[in-house]
Structure 1
Amino acid sequence: MKKAIYFFASVFMLVSCEAEGELTRPLPPVAIDETATPQFQGNFEPTSGISATGKVKIYLENGTYRLDFEDVTVSNGPDLKVYLSTAAYPEQFVNIGNFNANHVYTIPQVVNVSDYSHVLIHCQQYNHLFAYALLQPIQ
């Protein structure tokens, strides 16, 4: 009886761990439209022991904000996320999704982009900041 319960519990845990949430499912490719206007940009700065270079830009396209990386390279790490943050560390932030330097992120409509001053690349699993970029308005 114990073995049967253990077997069913193991199967349940495996199946429930396989479910993809909104922030963990693979992202479809999205491109910035030619008519999009750049609103903010910043250069990534690495934290101690991390290598990070490149730039981030936020565009306004048909009333929707999109976040795009340009020539971004970051040290490998598990569970890297992209955050919009009010500071150069994850205190008050919005999780935009899994980090992929080749993806363009659509920022949810409920997020007021001007409330956030930084884009972070953060290892959620170990609560370790990899890189941050101070966003500056593009004139």
Structure 2
Amino acid sequence: MSVVSRRTVVPLLLVLVVVAGIGLYLFQPWKAFTATTVNEALPTASAPEVKDGRQMKGNDGMRGGGPSMTSTRPENLAEGRFVTHEHGTSGTARTVRLADGGQVLRLEDLKTSEGPDVRVYLSSRAADAAKAGLGDGAVALGKLKGNLGNQNYTVPAGTDLSKFRSVVIWCERFSVSFGAADLAPASG
């Protein structure tokens, strides 16, 4: 190989290696062949027992001491089914109020693709409109824990869920929605 050829080939190979490395980092193509399943139970919280308008404490009419704790069922606030945007996405999203007043977004039977930097958002836009973007005031709930299964995301305290119309599975790296679910008031 002549000296001129080496001067051309070596830098070209270095550029190709750098471009390939950047491409692998950005696209993470191996995620097309992997899956992460998460199966979390719906969180439960105990609320203090209330009797005659006051919280029971200590030995107030009870043996054994200590406050009486009664498990209260979580209250479904809103729910909806996922629709596909950029990647096949299905399952159900529902917002739940726990007995202690905390709020949780629960994804059930979720099926979507893995991807780089995929996150879960509450959006003021309807699911169809979220395909074009999250809209103003979207609330990030965290990185997607897994692309399959059942998972919970804590809604920040003070968040008024009535202001949000959908849940969006959003890829930060490429600014695309994998899928979204409209939130409608839960029945019964």
Report the TM-score range of the alignment, normalised by the length of the smaller protein: 0.7 to 0.9
- 8 Å contact from structure 1 (residues 79, 124) kept in 2: yes
Tell me which residue corresponds to 1:114: 162
Segments of structure 1 that go 5 or more residues without pairing to the other structure are: 1-28
Segments of structure 2 that go 5 or more residues without pairing to the other structure are: 1-39, 45-71
- 8 Å contact from structure 2 (residues 77, 96) kept in 1: yes
Give, as a single letter, the amino acid of the residue that structure 1 aligns with 2:143.
Answer: N
Aligned residues: 110
- 8 Å contact from structure 2 (residues 106, 151) kept in 1: yes
CA distance in 2, matches of 1:110, 1:37: 17
Radius of gyration: which is bigger? Answer: 2
- Deviation for aligned residue 1:45: 0.4
What CA RMSD, in Å, does the superposition of the two structures yield over aligned residues? 1.6
Greater percentage in helix: 2
- Deviation for aligned residue 1:118: 0.3
Tell me which residue corresponds to 1:99: 144
TM-score for both structures, normalised by structure 2: 0.55
Q: What are the Cα deviations for residues 65-120 of structure 1, in whole angstroms up to 9, with x where unaligned?
A: 11111100101211000000001310121111001244311100121111001000
Runs of 4+ in 1 over 6 A off after TM superposition: none
Identity %: 27
CA distance in 2, matches of 1:46, 1:86: 18
- 8 Å contact from structure 1 (residues 54, 73) kept in 2: yes
TM-score for both structures, normalised by structure 1: 0.73
Give, as a single letter, the amino acid of the residue that structure 2 aligns with 1:94.
Answer: V
- 8 Å contact from structure 2 (residues 89, 179) kept in 1: yes
